[in-house]
Amino acid sequence: MAKSLAKNNLYDGLKARKVSPKSVKPFINKEITAIIKGFEVLATHYTLFIKFLLFIDTPCWNQYVQSIYVMRKEVAP
């Protein structure tokens, strides 16, 4: 049983979609300042790490920052 290959490429006529990169800014400057101040008060050992995460501005890291901030706020006296 011999295998045969297609004589023409079905995908030759397709064009790639143009995707414009969207800038997502989950926090405004006021919120960033509040988050950093909150970590300076509640968990100083996280502050530098949180500043780094906010600096690289990756959405998953921003969610991580939000979750830590909320957890620390709930635990604080």
**DSSP codes, 2-70:** -----SS-TTTT--PPP-PPP----S-HHHHHHHHHHHHHH-GGGHHHHHHHHHHT-HHHHHHHHHHHH
| Rg, Å, the chain Cα set | 23
The total of other beta-carbon atoms located within 10 Å of residue 66's CB is 14
pLDDT score, position 8: 83
With 0.75 as the threshold, say if the pTM is over it: no
Q: For every one of its 77 residues, what pLDDT tens digit does the chain have, with 9 covering 90 and above?
A: 556 677 788 788 888 877 766 666 677 889 888 888 988 998 899 889 888 877 776 666 666 666 766 666 655 55
